[in-house]
Structure 1
Amino acid sequence: MKPEINKNLSTIEISGIRKFFNLIEEYEDVVSLTIGQPDFPTPDHVKEAAVQAIKDNKTTYTHNAGIVELRKAITRYTKDRYQLDYDPMKEVIVTVGASQAIDITLRTIIEPGDEVILPGPIYPGYEPLIKLAGATVKYVDTKQSNFKLTAENLKEAITEKTKCVITPYPSNPTGVTLSEKELREISEVIQENKIFMISDEIYSELVYEQVHTSIASMPGMRDQVIVVNGVSKSFSMTGFRLGYLLAPDWLSQHILKVHQYNVSCASSVSQYAALEALENGTKDPAAMKKEYKNRREYVKGRLDKMGLEYAQPDGAFYMFVKFPESKNSTFDTAIELVEKAGVALVPGSAFSVYGEGYMRLSYAYSQQTLEKGMDRIEKYLTVT
C-alpha cells in the first residue's frame, strides 16, 4: 500500500500557462506568443560579473538573507526608484526568484483556515502556494472594474477569516496597473481591517505612461505590506532566479527562518550578477521598456483593426484580449487557433475562471514574430 501524500496536492495542477505551452510543442510551424520571458539577452556587464564571481571563487554559501552589498544595493535602488526606506541589514531578504519570496511569506503569515484574497484574473502561481500553506483562496472578480482591484470590491470580499491580500501590479495577465489614488484607497481598507498585503511588483520597471508607485509608500502601510520584486523581468535575468522581499524587521526575522530552512541562501553567483545590475545597470531597463512600448502600440493597432477588445495595458508585456463569443471554451478556442491558424495564445481560463472568454498575448517577442502572429490571428478571424 502506498503512503499518503499531502492532500492539498490533489487540488493543485500544473500551471495552465505551462500546460498549454507543453501541449502545443507537438505542433509544427506555430507562432507562440505565450511565454512571459524577455527576449533580450542579459546585459553583457551583468554576465561578466557572474563569470568573474566564479573566477574569484565566490561560490560558497552566503548570509541567509543575501550578501550585504546586494542588500544595500537593493535598498538604494528601491529608495531612488520607489521612495521605499528599508534597513538592508534587517528588512531585506534575497530569494530564489520572486516566487520563493511569495512562498516563504505565505508560510510565515498563514495558518490553516485563513483566507487569502486574489483579484481575478490573475497569474496562476499564487493559488497553489496559498493552498500548500493551508489557506483557502477567495477571488474578487475585477472584470467590471477594468481588471483592477478597488477599495470597494476588496472591502466586500473581506471576512473574519481574511489574513492577506495579494496584489500583482502591473498585472500578469492584463498589463493594468493602479494609480497612486487607487493604491491609497486600498491601503486604507487594508489598515482598517488589520490584514497583510503581499505586493508583487516584479514588473515595476515596465510601466509606460505613469511612474510606478508601491503601496508600501502609502502612509501607515509599512507594518502590513511585504514587497516582492526581483531582476528577472527588469534586467532580463529570468534564469538567474534572483528575487527579493522587503518587510518590516519584526516580520522579516520570522520570514528569514522559513527561508533559511528552505534554501539556505540564493545562488551566490546570481547575487553578484544582481549586484552589478542594480549598481551599474540602472539604465538597462529603460532601453528594453522603450522597445516593449513600441511593440505594445503595434499589437494594439492590429487588434483595433480586427475589432477585438482588450484590457488597456499600462505595464508589463501582455495583452488580455477578448475573443468573439463562441460555444467553445476559451481553452478549446486556443487549441483551434493552434490547429487552424498556427498561432498560440494562453487561454484566459489559465488565470482563474474570471479569465474565461479572453486570451493572453505576450509581446515579449521580436517585431517579426509579432507581425507573423498577428497576421495569422487576423486570417483566423476572417475565415471563421
Structure 2
Amino acid sequence: MDSETPRPGWIEVGRAFLGLGLTAFGGPVAHIGHFHRDIVDRRRWIAPDGFAEIVAVSQALPGPASSQAGLAIGWRLAGWRGALAAFVGFTAPSAVLMLVLALAAPGLLGTLGPGWASGLKAAAAAIVLIAVVQMARQTAPDLQRAIVLLVAALAALGYGAAGQLWILTVALVMGAILPPAGLVAPAGAARGDADPPSRQALMTGGLLLGGAAALLALAVALPPTPAAAAYVSGALVFGGGHAVLPLLEGEFVGQGWLDRDTFMAGYGAAQALPGPLFAFGAYLGAVEGGLLQGLAVMLALFLPGALLVLGLEPLWPRLRRSARVRGSLALAGAAATGLLGAAFLNTVAPEAFRSPGTVLIALGALLMLTVFRLPTPLVVLIAALAGLAAA
C-alpha cells in the first residue's frame, strides 16, 4: 500500500468492492483488470508487487480466482472484516439478480415460452467454446499437459460426472510426481529470502486449511444435498469460473434436482451479469429449494476457495518455491480444461444445437464475441431475443 495512503476501514473496502460488483463484467481475467485499476492505480491501497502476489496465489488454487483475489485484498487491508466486506460487495449484485431470475424462472418460462431459454443456451455454447480454447492455450502449453488435457477429456466422456473427482485427483498426484519440465516459477519463487510465516499465520492457515479439508470429507461422506454438492464442486474447480460447469451439471442435473434446460438457461443468463460467475450457485439452489437454499448453495460453492486462499496466502511465498506444488496445480488445471471440453461435447452442444435456428444463433454469438468483440452481456441479450423471435 502507498505510504501516503491511509489504510481503509472495512466499510470503505465494502463500498469499493460493491462498485466493482456492479461494473466488473467479462469474467475472472477482466475482473482482475478492474481490481488493478481501482485498488492499485486509483486508490493505491495495494502496491503493484503485493497485488501481483495475491493474483498469483488466487490463480494457482482451485476456486474462483477473482473472488479469491478480492478476499485476500480485503484481508490485507482490514482483516477478516475487510475480507467479508469485499466478498459481500463484489458478490451481492450478481447474487441478487440470479436469485430473482431463479424465483421468476417458472413464470418466465411459462410466459415467454422456451425460445428465450434456447437463445441463452446457444449463447452459452459460444461462451464455453471460447473458454475451452483460451483455457487450453493457458493450461496446456507443452506436450505433457496437452496429453493430460486430452486424457481427462476422453475419461470424462467415458465415465461422465462419476469420474471427475478421480480425474482431478490423479492429475494432482501426477503433477507432484512428474511436474512439467518447462514449468516456469513465479517471480521471486527461486529466491530464499521470503520471510518465514509467523506463529499466528501458521495457526490461522492451519485452521483454515484443516477446516476446508474436514468440510470436504464431510460433504463427500454425507448423503448428497445441493449445498454439499456445491462445496465439493467449489473445492475441485481448477481453471476459473467456467470450469465449474461440468461439476455442477453432473451434480444438479445428474441427481435430478434440476432439468438440463433450466440449468443451461441459468448458466447462459449468468454470462450477462457483472461480478463472479459462481453467483450462479444462488440460481441453482433457489430454483430447486427457494431463497434460503439458494443462499446456502452459493455460499457453499464459494467457501472452499475462500478457506484455501486465506489459509495459504500468508504461506504461499514459501510453498510456491516447491516444483511439486506448482506441478500438481499445473496438471490439475490441464485436467480441468479437459473436463470442460468434455462438458461442452456431452452437455452444452447437444442442448444448444437442437435446431438450425439455434445453431445459427450460436454461430452469430461466436462471431459477435470473437470478431466484433461485443460485450458479453449484449451478446447474451441479443441471443435471447433471437431465440424468442425464432420460436
Higher normalized contact order (CA 8 Å, seq sep 6+, divided by chain length): 2
**Structure 1-normalised TM-score?**
0.27
TM-score, reference length from structure 2:
0.26
